[in-house]
Each structure stands twice: as C-alpha cells, then as structure tokens.
Structure 1
C-alpha cells in the first residue's frame, strides 16, 4: 500500500509547519497550502513536502489545490484545516467588512477545504483535524469575530463527523491554548508594550500565570495531538473536541484568589 497523503492549510508556519514535519516523519506524503508561496516553498524543501499555493476562502482556488493533489498522488487520506486569524475587536467596533473577513479567515477556510476534500476522503475513509482554539470554548476580551469563528468550527466538525461517519471519515477538532507561534509572539509583543513587561518570556509567563502547567505549548506538542487524531490510534474517535491548553479551560476563575493558600 502506498504512503498516505495529508494536506495542511496554513502549512508554512507555526502549528501547520510543525504538523507537516511530524506527519512527514510518520510516513505521510505531505501537501502544504496557503496564500504565501515563499514560506510554503521553504517548508516544503526542508521536509520533502509539496507546496501548492491557494486561498482557502476562494472556492476555485481550493478546488485547484485539491485537484492538484489528486493529480500528483492519486489520493488524499488526511486534511488538517489549520488556516485562521483575524477578528480582534469588540462587537461594536467590528464593521461589516471586518466581520466578514473574520468569519472567512476562521470558518470559511475550513468549510471550503473540507467540502472540496470530502468526496475523496469518503473514498479513502480518511480523516480531518480542524484547528479551533481555546477561543472555541471560551471568550477573551475584544475578540468577537475570532471567538465566533472558532466556536463555529466545533459545530462544523460535529456536522461533518455526523454526516460522513457512514463513509468511514473521522473528523475531530483541536482547541490549543497559548502556543509559541509567530501570531502569539506578536500578541506577546503588544502585551509587553501595554504592561511594560521585559521580553516575550515575561509576557508568556503573564498569560499562563493561572494555567495549571504554567507555560505555553511548543508547536511540536500540538503537532503530536494532530498526529494522534489523524492516525490509527484514534480509530474510534470522531466528532470530538480535544483541548490542548495546559489545563487552562478547567480553571475555576472565582477561586484564583485562593491560589496563595495552596
């Protein structure tokens, strides 16, 4: 049997790149896609993957990427819907254009990629992992569009798992907390400027102060979770939401003041 084929959106940096490296080590033939071809080409050369530029908000572009993958490899076995971002404002401060951009980036990208891939995944009894966020089960300040999009990804995951399980397709969502990526680093820089913190390490320490594990994740740790959900050891798991946040989601906020007593 030939090696399985995995496609990763947003595969040039961060979690997507870490997942690409892990899946390549696990024996997958990997296709990286995203809007920026330069980081995709660099990543593809490093890990022996294929780079196909594509805008996951554009139906024709998505179909071209999926079609290009099938032309090259003849199959598709796994999809990581990882593209996302945008949506950092309150509801009142979000105009119609920014609202649409937020939902496109965080929800439509996954919807259109999965829609194009599902016919082939139904044939190969494939797997999908959808990257949501801790913002998919909770709400931070001034991130309305991002929060709504990440919540909706969990609904999309469940809908696909319900409809395509009869074809052997498994679909699961992952909700990471803070992960050391370029996007998170930029947020840490903003926090440093706003709070007078000295360096990203201080900022990461601040945002994980009440996280039970007391630190952010490295991208490779989330990649391990992705590899599990796309691999055979999770063969009876579908429609699940796996939270990988160091325990942040279970913290009872009203009792934080009692930490000093423990």
Structure 2
C-alpha cells in the first residue's frame, strides 16, 4: 500500500524509481528484490550484464550496464533510467570490491582500482543523479562496510575506500539537505554474498578448516549474534532508510554487524574463563 507522506514527502512509495549499483549479486540484488516487491520501479547497473539480467528476470528491473567509475557511463546510466521511467528518486550506491593487500604491497594500479571500485563509483553515480534527486526530494544510501570504521589486516585499499564513503555521505548530507535530499551510509559486517563466500573459501583453505560454513563460524565466533547476516537483512535496512519512516535521518552511519563493533577486544580472553 502507498505510504502516508503527509508533510514528509511528495509521492507515494510505489511511484518512486530506485537505481542500485552493483545490483547483480549479493546485497545489491537483495535490495533490488526487496524494493521491487514493495512496488518501487527498479533499475540495476554494474559492469557484468548477465547477473543484472538474472535480477531483472525476478524483479522486472531495467538493466543498464555500465562502469559507474567512468563519468560518461554514470551520466549515460542516469539518463537512460530517467528516459525509461521519467524520474529518479533513490540511489543505492552498493558497488565495491578490490583492495586486499597492505600498503607496502599495493602498487599504483591496485590503489587506483580500489578507490575506483569503492569510492569513485559512489561519487560519480550520486553526482550524476543530483539533478533528479534534488528535483524529487530524493534519498541516497551508500553501502560502506564495517571496514569503513575499523581496519582489518591486509586490506588497505578497501579500508581506505570504505572509510572515505562515510565522509562522502556526510558531505552530501550537509550540502544537499537544504534541497531535501537525504544521504545515509550502511556499514554491514559479514554478509553471505558471493564475495564473502569466496573469502571464506580462501580462509578455510589457508587455515585448514574443513568447510566454508566452519569458516563463517570462525570469523563470527566473537560477534554477539554469532552468525553472518543474510543479504535480505541488509535490504530491509535500505528499505527503511529510503522510506518516509526515516524522513528525519540524514548524514547517519547505520552499523549492521551483529554487534561486532561493540566487542572490547582486550576482554576476549576472559570469555574462555566463563
């Protein structure tokens, strides 16, 4: 059913149009599925067309392939979405990846690739969408990571890019709040996505662990909820953030990590005494 916007919005939710970058797999695909189920009109973009078409087959989404780190592609994708639907209200900047090495092991090309994948895609996507977002009192969710708040081992480019996304969220919210554009960041912890599955496979092999499931158990053993998230759980948070239920939330960083960020690392040895 359409939401009651009152003074908060201008259109019922089922008139709105959402663009999801990195929309072919993982969190992006789950967001597309959730928003489409709630009646939004969806467009998905990414560099690989095949997974985008899979999502479109389930959701009816418009498929607009492109590299959103490229300014021309970003403008073209936005133009195609607006030409097809007549408007754009929501951007979910979910594309990311790259950057799995220490600073000393990161060459110039790897550094550039990491920043392009994790930061520049979001910057150029939102920049191209701003005329539509300001026209329609739009909303943006930038998908960062728990790595946007803390540093893991050997993931320099990824960590820096994800930290920078939180800065991008804040500056967009500050500058475009007067135009009624809301911008928030989502920081997931471990989520069962194809990228995380691949990491668990590598971890299992390196640590001599029997299975990917056991690897997930190992990396979440000190997380209060003791499990990774499902992509659909992240999609529910995005759905809330782009709705009028969140009409006074902007510039915020929402952490969804099963409680990992509240754990005091020096106290972990005490758990074995319990």
Question: What TM-score comes out, normalization by structure 1 length?
Answer: 0.99
**Which structure 2 residues correspond to residues 100-119 of structure 1 after superposition, within 5 A?**
100-119=112-131
**Which structure 2 residues correspond to residues 138-217 of structure 1 after superposition, within 5 A?**
138-217=150-229
**CA distance in structure 2 between the aligned counterparts of 1:60 and 1:161, rounded to whole angstroms:** 24
What residue ranges of structure 1 are gaps of 5+ in the alignment?
A: none
**Alignment match, 2:71:** 59
**CA distance in structure 2 between the aligned counterparts of 1:105 and 1:49, rounded to whole angstroms:** 23
Please give the root-mean-square deviation of Cα atoms over the aligned residues, in Å.
0.8
Question: In the TM superposition, what whole-angstrom CA distance separates every residue of 1:169-220 from its partner, at most 9, and x where no partner exists?
Answer: 0000000000000000000000110111111110000000100000000000
**CA distance in structure 1 between the aligned counterparts of 2:24 and 2:210, rounded to whole angstroms:** 29
**CA distance in structure 2 between the aligned counterparts of 1:261 and 1:76, rounded to whole angstroms:** 55
**CA distance in structure 1 between the aligned counterparts of 2:187 and 2:110, rounded to whole angstroms:** 23
Displacement of 1:99 in angstroms is 0.5
Displacement of 1:260 in angstroms is 2.5
Displacement of 1:261 in angstroms is 3.3
**CA distance in structure 1 between the aligned counterparts of 2:239 and 2:39, rounded to whole angstroms:** 11
The partner residue of 1:244 within 242, 248, 256 is 256
- Residues paired across the two proteins, number: 262
**Alignment match, 2:7:** none
> Does the residue aligned with 1:215 lie in a helix, a strand or coil?
coil
**CA distance in structure 2 between the aligned counterparts of 1:42 and 1:88, rounded to whole angstroms:** 28
The partner residue of 1:254 within 230, 244, 266 is 266
**CA distance in structure 2 between the aligned counterparts of 1:51 and 1:72, rounded to whole angstroms:** 11
**Alignment match, 1:31:** 43
**Which structure 2 residues correspond to residues 78-97 of structure 1 after superposition, within 5 A?**
78-97=90-109
**Which structure 2 residues correspond to residues 64-75 of structure 1 after superposition, within 5 A?**
64-75=76-87
Question: In the TM superposition, what whole-angstrom CA distance separates every residue of 1:232-262 from its partner, at most 9, and x where no partner exists?
Answer: 1110000000000000011000000111234
Displacement of 1:113 in angstroms is 0.1
